[in-house]
Amino acid sequence: MTTVENLILDMLEWIGPGARPYAEVQEAWRTSCPRLPVWEDAKDAGYLESGFDEELGMTVAVSTLGAEALKATGRRRSAATQRAEHPRPD
C-alpha cells in the first residue's frame, strides 16, 4: 500500500461515520504537495461525499464506497474520533 493510500485511510478514519464541516476537513487534510494528493485522490476514488447541514454548512462524509474500503483493510476509527462521537457526560 502506498503512502497516499495509507493517508486516505487515515482521513476516512478521522472523518468517522458522521459528516464533518467542509472547512474543518480542508484545514486538516488539504496539502499543496503534489506527491501527497490525499484529498484529491479520495474524491476521485469516490470515497467522499459532500452535503449541506443547517448547523454545519457544507459537509464532507465518508461514502459507502469509502466505508467499504476502510472495512476491507480491517482498520478502525481512531480513538480521537470515537471520543468526539461519544463525549463524556458532564
> Residue 42 and residue 48: Cα distance in Å, rounded?
6
- Which domains are present in the chain? 3-73 (1.10.10.10)
R_g of the chain computed on alpha carbons = 13
Look at residue 74 and tell me whether its pLDDT is greater than 60.
yes
The pTM of this model reads: 0.77
Helix (H) / strand (E) element for 52: namely strand 48-53
Query: Sorting pLDDT into bands at 50, 70 and 90, what band is 77?
Result: low
